[in-house]
Structure 1
Amino acid sequence: MGASTTFKVIIAGAGPVGLLMAHALSRAGVDFVVLEEQDEVVRHAGAGIALMPGLVRILDQIGVLEHIKRQVFLRNKMDLVTNGTVLQQWPLFDLVAEAFGYRIIQTSRKDVIEALFTTLPGHSERVKTASKVSKVDLRDDGVTVHLANGATVDGSILIGCDGVHSRTRQIMQQLREEAGGSAAVDDDATVMERRFAGIYGRVDNPVGIAPGFFYESREAGFLMQMSVGDDVLWYVLLRHQLPSPGRTRYTAEECDEFAKALAHLQIAPLGLTFGDIWARTDKETAVLVDQQQGCAEKWHHGGRIVLVGDSQLKVTSESGAGFMAGAYSAVQLANELQDLLSKQSGPGQPSASDLDAAFARYQVARMPASKAMLESDIARLDQSMWGSWKGWLMDRWVVRMPWVDMAKIFKTRAIPRMAGAPVLRYVPFEGKSGTAEWQIKVPRVEAL
């Protein structure tokens, strides 16, 4: 392709982060195409997903929030042991709503993807399915992406939103090796370690289980989380395993064996066991997958390739922060690109060096929070799954003492961190607020 005056972004991956990235670019007036390796975009019906208030604010800003079909609002968190002993109950979700005006929303991954996809301008032309990235050529004026089906796509940059097993990250590693860079940095075999295996599932019409609760049941090496609404519940059951590279694809039979081996675990009061839940689970949507933890050290290469989402940071579902972290990175990168392009004078495109500088600013801005999120995820799982004697002592006894006020701790420690959520600097909107002030403001509609 010859030199072009049109800046075009290629996004690899049409998951929640990739589609949100596309929305952010669309709002900035930036041309884009999304490449999805699967044959369909809307899938993963069984996996639940938590939308934290900062993420809900972003979805509100880009006009997607109201299009998410099924939204479950929880009120209380209950911690218990798998023998049925209740450790604690407190109004976590009400505290969040009071602080920010937005509630934590529990919904399905499918509903989130569907809302992002159907509201994306030009989605039928701009989102290409069955388009698996196989190779990338860097040019002076952009990139050529080769697909497994033999087609090629030309653009100015490639944004890898293609998940924990990111082909984009693998290609970046290969390009660094070819250029004589460090082969040890972000080797795909080591950067994302699988440390847990877990079942995602859904139960419709969960009669007999109190709605509005987030149940978290644990014992050494196991953790079960369950969000219960009036007509649906989602859950994930995690089992710790020795850290290892690579990936495993589990069969439906292995998923069933995994579930039945843990059927005795009590996951809610009054003797409710995982076996009771598994018997009512929609088996067509339940899935057993590995869960990884890791953070890439290098998020960009040559001013032409950059990573966003699980390709650069992976935390477990326990934190409920995976999509949120990816969305924050997407917003940060979109802000950098919009700022760079708005300052571009005359015809032509930003140089590779200017783009590389923008990518570097993006990484510098997001790396501290990303590493802190990973460290927090590791520490929380060590505590809630009793991975060490210290973790067991903290979870089972120290934080359960009657003089420990979890609500006060949450307000003074967690709420200020949540208040620092980023937003798109170039999209005015009237958002919600609560008792905690958002640290990052957006232009107000009346200011235009």
Structure 2
Amino acid sequence: MADGTGNFKVIIAGGSIVGLALANALDRAGIDFIVLEKREIAPHLGASISMLCHNSRVYEQLGLVDVINNATVPLVDRHHFNKDGYMFEDGGVLKGIGDKTKRYFRFMERRFYLETLYNNLRDKSKVHANVGVKSFIQRDDGVTVITDNGERFEGSILVGADGVHSTVRRIMAQNVAEMDPERAHNLISPFWANYRSIFGTSRNLNRRTQGLFMPNGMVHVAYHRGFSGVSATGVDGLVFWFLFVKEDAPSRTPDCPRYDDRDAERTIEKYGLFNLGPDYTFRDLWDSKVKAAMFPMEEGVVQGPWNNGGRVVLIGDSTMKSTVNPGLGGNTNIEGVCYFANELVQLLAQSPKPANDEIKEMFDKYEKKQRPHAELCVKVSGFQTRYEAMETWWTRLLIHIMRWLPNNLMSTLLAKHFASAPLLNFLPDPEV
């Protein structure tokens, strides 16, 4: 294993959740790293994110799960509503999974999640904010990253954890554009968007009724034709909510729409009077908002290798993007962090100064393990988005069938699925 003295250094492009989670894993493994984030760390965008039970196990290994648990409330109930605000299903699946795994689903501000990952790092000087990757140069023994402010950073490998609009992925595409235009196209335009979403954080007080939107630990799901909504009270005093709307026409990256506050306002004007819960609407949540923004919901998996055949590799949202409804995307990406870190630790234990072909083999092993998870995540998430928006007659029929499935059966199946998720092999297993 690398001893952290600089013999092997990982340059992580992107202070995303995946980038900071990988930094934490490398920190605990004794592998040197730096993180280059082109914006500030933990910006306040109004976004929220879930932590499912299998990620909770990983964060137990990294020593930060207590911080998250102490700042959140467990999600234990999920109510489903039709267009009239009638609750047609009172699901106990969330509590069932929590009871079986001893780890409950959590929901929190994305900013808090990022801050927790950042604060858990032992040497924060390794994280450079407002420093973006401009280009990179590969050598037989390493990689040089040139930043947008002219700085140069030397490392052994470069990991692109810089999201949907990955600069690292774009540079990889540019480097192969002449020799392999199909490969370049797959890197430039890997995702499509059929839906957009408003991500909102609101105070848990309905100004219209002067009552709470929902009690703590609750999730509401509203089904409408062509759009849907989800709200959750994962933090005391706040409601995290989403409005998912089917687009008039699909788009592909990098040409998916970029929305501003006026676009979000127009969307609320159109859909705001529809219910999300039994006695509140999207407009009610909007009027109590702390922060909200609208984004396209890209989905897809990068086709072709996630590495450039040398010392550069992609991870997280730069490799896959899923719709938000089931909350699987960020959690699936942490699985990728585990696979990547495990393979790297094993490689460095065998070869402290690995050659290019050894690094390429390690990249391929990580991708071989993570790609099926990414593809399943995109399929399941896309289905749930279309299911909740009742896109077709058979999804509308399926809603009536699913309500009769026993909660215990669903929670048992999901708990077994989460139990099979990877851990960090080089750290002690979490308590059962």
Query: In structure 1, which of residues 369, 375, 378 is the aligned counterpart of residue 379 of structure 2?
Result: 375
Name the CA distance, whole Å, in 2 between partners of 1:295 and 1:214. Answer: 28
Which is worse superposed, 98-107 or 405-414? 405-414
Structure 1 residue 185 displacement after superposition: 5.7
Question: What SS is found at the alignment partner of 1:250?
Answer: coil
8 Å Cα contact 1:72-1:107 kept in structure 2 = no
Structure 1 residue 328 and structure 2 residue 328: aligned? Answer: no
Q: Secondary structure at the match of 1:165?
A: coil
RMSD of equivalent CA atoms: 1.8
Look up the SS of the partner of 2:332 in the other structure: helix
Which segments of 5 or more consecutive residues in structure 2 lack a partner in the other structure?
206-210
Match of 1:441 in 2: none
Residue 276 of structure 2 aligns to a residue in which SS? strand
CA distance in 2, matches of 1:252, 1:20: 30
**Matches of 2:32 and 2:320, distance apart in 1:** 26
Aligned residue in 1 for 2:208:
none
Q: Which amino acid aligns with 1:191?
A: P
Which residue of structure 2 lines up, in the alignment, with residue 196 of structure 1? 195
Aligned to 1:438: none
Structure 1 residue 429: deviation in Å?
Answer: 4.6
- Which of 354, 365, 371 is residue 361 of structure 1 equivalent to? 365
Give the letter aligned to residue 318 of structure 2. Answer: S
- Separation in structure 1 between the aligned mates of residue 273 and residue 167 of structure 2, nearest angstrom: 39
Letter in 1 for 2:423: V
Q: Secondary structure at the match of 1:158?
A: strand
- Secondary structure of the 1:187 match is helix
Query: Paired residue for 1:276?
Result: 284
Question: 1:70: how far off?
Answer: 2.6
Partner of residue 319 from structure 2, selected from 305, 312, 316: 312
By how many angstroms is 1:344 displaced?
1.8
- Between the aligned partners of 1:8 and 1:184, the Cα distance in structure 2 is 28
* CA shift for structure 1 position 45: 5.2
1:286 maps to which residue? Answer: 292
1:260 maps onto 2:269 in alignment: yes
Asked if the contact 2:38–2:131 (Cα under 8 Å) also holds between the matched residues in 1, the reply is yes
* CA distance, structure 2, for counterparts of residue 264 and residue 315 of structure 1: 28
Number of the residue aligned with 1:443: none
Task: Give the Å deviation of 1:5.
Answer: 7.0
CA displacement at 1:210 relative to structure 2 = 3.0
Which whole-Å CA distance do the structure 2 matches of 1:165 and 1:408 have between them? Answer: 40
Q: 1:120 to 1:70 in 2, by over 3 A?
A: same
In structure 1, C-alpha distance between the alignment counterparts of 2:95 and 2:55, rounded to whole Å:
17
1:121 aligned residue: 122
TM-score, normalised relative to structure 1: 0.89
Tell me the TM-score normalised to structure 2 length: 0.92
Partner residue, 2:20:
19
In the other structure, the counterpart of 1:142 is 142
State the one-letter code of the partner of 1:41. I
Could you report, residue by residue, the CA deviation over 1:285-338 in whole angstroms, capped at 9, with x for unpaired residues?
Answer: 211111100101221112301111111111111120121111110111000000
Distance in 1 separating the partners of 2:199 and 2:382: 20
- Runs of 4+ off more than 4 Å: none
> Aligned match of 2:243 in 228, 231, 237?
237
Of 197, 206, 218, 1:213 maps to 218
Alignment-derived partner of residue 84 in structure 1:
85
More divergent stretch after superposition (333-342 vs 207-216): 207-216
Deviations 1:220-267 (A, max 9, x none): 111100002542111011111132112333222222221122111111
Distance 2:59 2:45 in 1: 20
Shift of 1:373: 1.3
Report the equivalent of 1:440.
none
Q: Aligned pairs, how many?
A: 416
Contact kept in structure 2, 1:186 and 1:296, CA below 8 Å = no
Distance 1:319 1:87, change over 3 A: same
| Structure 1, 205-214 or 420-429: larger mean CA deviation | 205-214
Q: Which amino acid aligns with 2:53?
A: P
Question: 1:384-423 counterparts in 2 under 5 A?
Answer: 384-395=388-399, 397-400=400-403, 404-423=404-423
- Structure 1 contact 90–406 (Cα < 8 Å) conserved: no
Deviations along 1:149-199, whole A, 9 cap, x unmatched?
122211111111100111111122222335x34534653453111221111
Is 1:30 aligned with 2:66? no
Distance 1:240 1:324 in 2: 24
Give how far 1:370 is off: 1.4
Shifted more, 409-418 versus 352-361: the winner is: 409-418
The 3 A distance-change label for structure 1 pair 381 and 105 is same
Structure 1: 5+ residue stretches without partners? 434-448
Question: Which deviations, in whole Å up to 9, do the C-alpha atoms of 1:8-30 show, x marking residues without a partner?
Answer: 10001101110000011111111
Give the letter aligned to residue 336 of structure 1: E
- Give the letter aligned to residue 89 of structure 1: D
Asked whether the equivalents of residues 383 and 390 of structure 1 are also in contact (C-alpha less than 8 Å), the reply is no
CA distance in 2, matches of 1:412, 1:428: 26
Bigger shift: residues 58-67 or 331-340: 58-67
The residue that corresponds to 2:168 in the other structure is 168
Matched, 1:222 2:227: yes
Residue identity opposite 2:289 in structure 1: T
